[in-house]
Amino acid sequence: MSLPDEIPPVTSFVHEEMAEGTTQTLAAYLSQLPPIVRLRLLAFVHLIEDPAAMEAALDITPSGSMRLTLNTAVTPCPANRH
């Protein structure tokens, strides 16, 4: 008879500590980014989380530059408009 699949307490603790450290590090880096960059990242995250709520258009010029435009029906807060 095999033992039940359990995560050992030490392993669980290490995962929690790593997740907490990663979250704190990301929060520190994000706070240093300009507001427009944070807004763009947030829009991209929303696209990944709920693609149906966003409209995406990718334009590629002959020179190779790309532009991703994200639109949503949700009106942003005036403080977040750029």
User: What DSSP line would sit under 10-79, residue for residue?
Assistant: HHHHHHHHHHHHHHHHHHHHHHHS-HHHHHHHHHHHHHHH-GGGEEEEEEE-TTS-EEEEEEESSPPPGG
Position 2 confidence tier, pLDDT thresholds 50, 70, 90:
low
Average pLDDT over residues 71-75: 74
Does pLDDT of 1 surpass 90? no
Q: What is the pLDDT of residue 12?
A: 72
pLDDT (0 to 100) of residue 60: 93
Could you tell me the residue ranges of all domains in the chain? 9-80
